[in-house]
Amino acid sequence: LEEIEGRIYETAKDQHGCRFLQKKFSEGSLEEIDKIFAEVIDHLVDLMTDPFGNYLVQKLLEVSNDTQRREILRVVTRNGELVNISLNMHGTRAVQKLIETLKSPEQVSMVTSSLMQGVVTLIKDSNGNHVVQKCLQKLSNEDIQFIIDAAARHCVDIGTHRHGCCVLQRCIDFASGTQCHFLVSEIAANALILSQDQYGNYVVQYILDLEQSWITLDVIYRLEGNFALLAMQKFSSNVVEKCLKQSSEDSRALIIREIITSSLLSQLLQDPFANYVIQCALSVAKGSLHTALVDAIRPHVPVLRSSPFGKRILSR
């Protein structure tokens, strides 16, 4: 270590040098750890985003004492640096390790306050979203409130994004009962927009899969009057099918009656997506509702015989 004294920061950015320094953290004395710490602390942000340096920082977080940890947090949380580090492909790993090794409410507060300003950006980023997910996994319900608030407030923006839709589902998984109710209510309120999106439809299906009657009722209420049009769209047709399967008999009747009284029924029966919705309706409808559905389809049978999608309905 004496040979590289004064050059430890540069050494940390070299593959072999970084390994040598990590070994010192495992096998070296406290004095050696302090020496390395003193030389890298002012370069921490740069090292966290370095292909090799980030591994040294991760190791440092495991062996640092309380005083050193406070200093690390002070450096990485100033001027919004933590958000920028989290967006980096190497930095995201170091920040996740930082979250895993937080020791006190004060340390947690420093990190969450720093991440709060960029939480939506992080959620939608290919690297940053993993930092948010690590917070959800490791922090208390109280400490993830800033994520839940942002997810609810921006649920359409987040839910229609390829990374965001996954994080939104994880928010539901880790939320407390009150937080979950708040978040799900916002998603349900925006079900009409989300259902028609290539990513958002998965979020709506996810809350329907919670199989809570109030959620299903709320989603159906938001989609009411649009079921025929939604059935003919690739993404929303899956949501309509899910509503048919998860709903009570009264709600199911509402959806099916809306479809069979639609001026678009003939089109629905021959549509590449809506035909699956009709097949689903035939499989879940019972008694007089099933009879009404069959009676509505019957006049269209001649046309359905020559339609590739119509034939599937006839086979039901």
Rounded Cα gap, residues 193 and 159, in angstroms: 10
Measure CA 282 to chain center: 34
Question: Which pLDDT value is given to residue 4?
Answer: 72
Say if CB 59 and CB 24 are below 8 A apart.
no
Say what the pTM is.
0.92
Alpha-carbon span 298 to 257, nearest angstrom: 15
Contact between residue 191 and residue 159 where contact means Cβ atoms under 8 Å apart: no
Report the C-alpha gap between 194 and 222 in whole angstroms.
11
List pLDDT tens digits, range 52-71.
999 999 999 999 999 999 99
- C-alpha 20: how far from chain center: 38
At residue 3, the pLDDT reads 66
CB environment 141-159: b (16+ within 10 A), e (fewer): eebbbbbbebbbebbbebb
- Over the stretch 120-134, which tens digit does the pLDDT of each residue have? 999 999 999 999 999
Half-sphere exposure of 231 (CA within 13 A, CB side): 30
pLDDT of residue 1: 54
Predicted pLDDT of residue 28:
81
d(CA 9, CA 53): 9
For residue 278, CA distances in Å to 116, 146, 243, 283, 296 come to: 45, 42, 13, 9, 11
- 316 residues of the chain, pLDDT tens digit each: 566 777 889 999 999 999 999 999 888 889 999 999 999 999 999 999 999 999 999 999 999 999 999 999 999 999 889 999 999 999 999 999 999 999 999 999 999 999 999 999 999 999 999 999 999 999 999 999 999 999 999 999 999 999 999 999 999 999 999 999 999 999 999 999 999 999 999 999 999 999 999 999 999 999 999 999 999 999 999 999 999 999 999 999 999 999 999 999 999 999 999 999 999 999 999 999 999 999 999 999 998 888 888 878 887 7
